[in-house]
Chain A
């Protein structure tokens, strides 16, 4: 599903440059649920952003589903992001003047789908996250957990191969976190490949594999026994 080798990335800070990723090799198979862990500054978010084509690597290879991702033009990156990837952010990143259903349907708009179809499909995904009744509400009228569920529905709308989550529970309380995690696990059970950045041990343990980063290199990469979030809910 995903092969990364020799990935380097540095940021210019004033005159000096900060070497954030120092040669990452990582391979993820279809159906996996991987937690990327590390303290802040370890490069975990940068890695996720490069995988999500939100950022570009300086060097190294990245192959997504057999497709080499390099020398991306903005236009091509946009198409790939739309087709292959679904994003879930810590701060939800919903568009505040669009209601829930419009937010969910937005990736489909960029696929060129007709309005009626994409609203139908959007509704289907909203139902899936249990928010069908909230379709016409604006993000500000929703709780944190509801917002994240709308964001998940949006990430799923375009039926992506890979789901990328950046601290998906970072802005939520424990109970809501567990609800969200239960839902994400459920998606994984259905076969979605999921990559998640987190710094919380208990959340990481709800994945099937943990990759630990420190100072831009992978320290540890091990499979874990998945803790089901359902038991806490």
Chain B
């Protein structure tokens, strides 16, 4: 029930005891402010790490080849190792259950033109799975599909910036683009979070590229997305198995570091993830520390307030105040101050983060912010703590015999 008179009493008490109210409010606002800023900065650090890996799938393994550096099994050093379609099929067969996505990649530099516009771009000939490994976001049309592979169709999926450069405000899908003398039909346009360079790429089917550029079955690179069910250690083991198996296949010395290179994101991800966990623990410790400091602060203030008001409580009781009304007047005041001050601390914290956030990017703190739910939770914690901290002394005060309270001159 809303008791206007009770609220009037409380507002009068807050208003007429401004120093007390401001001081207690300040403590709470400060605790929430610190909490917000610390959490924001920590989140900013996390964002930076997350951002570094947003572009490519976390579970990727890349296989590249080069020249052998060591003689092995009677073969000379300096032999050029090249991947072929049969190697791709071999991996596909041999590690079926460990591989989620698999694609080959062939690189070419092409001169692309449409009508009067032309420019040089990097072309990647790929399998359909490439879309998921590179996290390519198809904006219009479609990506390369199995049908394209099978029929070696001359289709291309172009980056957003390629469309912008060559098609100048017109729709690219359905039109024909000339890539170094060969006409390809544009079937899709894509975005990529990896930056402008990633949006200046052209994808065509790997089989088409092999047919047109050299009529061979060479592959420049194989990208694997390992089964996400593998844990880090299993994934790292998988990478090592691949290396061993491929070295055997190509007759390469075990300690030859150049001929076959297997880059496993699991290794990097593992260390990043454990770092994130560490960071998370630090954040939690700091956050809880701040909250506990705030709670202790409120408790102190509440005990002080009740002590200061002992005489007033005695007077009120002598005039006929029930214990319940004494408890509620003190408690509601405490909760009100905590809520308002907490909210102010929160607003200031948000403001500070917004204001200085952009300038912190040099310090690896990107977009420092906190979720509303988190700060709301922190404020609620403080309010509940304030209520409990206030309830105990308020209850005790309500039980004081008025005569003892009044003697307290």
Query: Residue A168 at the B interface, CB < 8 A?
Result: no
Q: A54-B402, A74-B398 are in contact. Are A93 and B311 (CB under 8 A)?
A: yes
Q: Is the CB of B320 within 8 A of A54?
A: no
Which of B12-20, B70-78, B231-239, B361-369 makes up part of the contact surface?
Answer: B12-20
Expressed in whole angstroms, the Cα–Cα distance for A91 and B17 within the complex equals 21
Q: A74-B322, A91-B409 are in contact. Are A54 and B403 (CB under 8 A)?
A: yes
Q: From B3, which residue of chain A is reached at the shortest CB distance? A: A112
Contacts of B322 in A (CB 8 A): 74-75, 78-79, 110
Query: Residue B23 at the A interface, CB < 8 A?
Result: no
Q: A54-B401, A91-B409, A97-B17 are in contact. Are A75 and B324 (CB under 8 A)?
A: yes
Contacts of A56 in B (CB 8 A): 401
Q: From A86, which residue of chain B is reached at the shortest CB distance? A: B319
Expressed in whole angstroms, the Cα–Cα distance for A97 and B19 within the complex equals 13
Contact with B along A52-74 (1 / 0, CB 8 A): 10111000000000000000001
Q: Which of A81, A97, A98 contacts B318 (CB 8 A)?
A: A81
Contacts of A75 in B (CB 8 A): 322-324
Interface size on B, residues (CB 8 A): 29
Q: Which of A55, A74, A91, A110 contacts B319 (CB 8 A)?
A: A110
Q: Is the CB of A93 within 8 A of B318?
A: yes
Shortest B306–chain A CB gap in Å is 15
Interface size on A, residues (CB 8 A): 29
Query: Residue A10 at the B interface, CB < 8 A?
Result: no
Q: Is the CB of B406 within 8 A of A115?
A: no
Q: Is the CB of A74 within 8 A of B12?
A: no
Query: Residue B372 at the A interface, CB < 8 A?
Result: no
Query: Residue B200 at the A interface, CB < 8 A?
Result: no
Expressed in whole angstroms, the Cα–Cα distance for A35 and B403 within the complex equals 20
Contacts of B8 in A (CB 8 A): 115
Q: Is the CB of A95 within 8 A of B315?
A: yes
Q: From A56, which residue of chain B is reached at the shortest CB distance? A: B401
Shortest A177–chain B CB gap in Å is 20
Contacts of A89 in B (CB 8 A): 406
Q: Is the CB of A107 within 8 A of B311?
A: no
Expressed in whole angstroms, the Cα–Cα distance for A52 and B314 within the complex equals 13
Q: A74-B398, A97-B17, A115-B8 are in contact. Are A54 and B318 (CB under 8 A)?
A: yes
Expressed in whole angstroms, the Cα–Cα distance for A74 and B323 within the complex equals 7
Query: Residue A198 at the B interface, CB < 8 A?
Result: no
Taking CB atoms and an 8 Å cut-off, the chain B residues in 14-38 that contact chain A are 16-17
Q: Is the CB of B315 within 8 A of A93?
A: yes
Taking CB atoms and an 8 Å cut-off, the chain B residues in 381-409 that contact chain A are 398-399, 401-403, 406, 409
Contacts of A81 in B (CB 8 A): 317-320
Contacts of B312 in A (CB 8 A): 95
Query: Residue A124 at the B interface, CB < 8 A?
Result: no
Q: Is the CB of A82 within 8 A of B406?
A: no
Query: Residue A106 at the B interface, CB < 8 A?
Result: yes
Expressed in whole angstroms, the Cα–Cα distance for A109 and B120 within the complex equals 86
Query: Residue B281 at the A interface, CB < 8 A?
Result: no
Query: Residue B135 at the A interface, CB < 8 A?
Result: no
Q: A95-B312, A98-B12 are in contact. Are A78 and B403 (CB under 8 A)?
A: no
Expressed in whole angstroms, the Cα–Cα distance for A201 and B364 within the complex equals 84
Contacts of B185 in A (CB 8 A): none
Expressed in whole angstroms, the Cα–Cα distance for A79 and B323 within the complex equals 11
Contacts of A74 in B (CB 8 A): 322-323, 398-399
Expressed in whole angstroms, the Cα–Cα distance for A74 and B4 within the complex equals 24
Shortest B20–chain A CB gap in Å is 10
Q: Is the CB of B318 within 8 A of A79?
A: no
Expressed in whole angstroms, the Cα–Cα distance for A54 and B318 within the complex equals 7
Expressed in whole angstroms, the Cα–Cα distance for A233 and B399 within the complex equals 43
Contacts of A115 in B (CB 8 A): 4-5, 8
Expressed in whole angstroms, the Cα–Cα distance for A107 and B315 within the complex equals 10
Interface centre among B311, B322, B323, B398, by most chain A C-beta atoms within 10 angstroms, is B322
Q: Is the CB of A78 within 8 A of B317?
A: yes
Contacts of A95 in B (CB 8 A): 312, 315-316
Query: Residue B212 at the A interface, CB < 8 A?
Result: no
Interface centre among B16, B17, B403, by most chain A C-beta atoms within 10 angstroms, is B403
Expressed in whole angstroms, the Cα–Cα distance for A111 and B312 within the complex equals 18
Expressed in whole angstroms, the Cα–Cα distance for A107 and B316 within the complex equals 8
Q: From A84, which residue of chain B is reached at the shortest CB distance? A: B320
Q: Is the CB of A107 within 8 A of B320?
A: yes
Q: Is the CB of B17 within 8 A of A87?
A: no
Q: Which of A78, A91, A93, A94 contacts B321 (CB 8 A)?
A: A78
Contacts of A109 in B (CB 8 A): 5, 9
Expressed in whole angstroms, the Cα–Cα distance for A158 and B319 within the complex equals 9
Contacts of A93 in B (CB 8 A): 311, 314-315, 318, 406
Q: From A73, which residue of chain B is reached at the shortest CB distance? A: B323
Q: Which of A49, A79, A110, A111 contacts B403 (CB 8 A)?
A: A49
Query: Residue A199 at the B interface, CB < 8 A?
Result: no
Q: Which of B320, B323, B398 contacts A110 (CB 8 A)?
A: B320
Q: Is the CB of A79 within 8 A of B319?
A: no
Contact with B along A121-142 (1 / 0, CB 8 A): 0000000000000000000000
- 29 sampled A-B residue pairs with Cβ under 8 A: A49-B403, A54-B401, A54-B402, A54-B403, A54-B406, A74-B322, A74-B398, A74-B399, A75-B324, A78-B320, A78-B322, A78-B323, A79-B320, A81-B318, A83-B320, A89-B406, A93-B311, A93-B314, A93-B318, A93-B406, A94-B315, A97-B13, A97-B16, A106-B319, A107-B319, A110-B316, A110-B319, A110-B320, A110-B325
| Besides A54-B403, A93-B311, A115-B5, 19 other A-B contacts (C-beta < 8 A) | A49-B403, A54-B318, A55-B401, A56-B401, A74-B322, A74-B399, A78-B320, A78-B323, A83-B320, A87-B319, A93-B315, A93-B318, A97-B12, A98-B12, A98-B16, A102-B12, A106-B319, A110-B319, A110-B320
Q: B residues engaging A (CB < 8 A)?
A: 4-5, 8-9, 12-13, 16-17, 311-312, 314-325, 398-399, 401-403, 406, 409
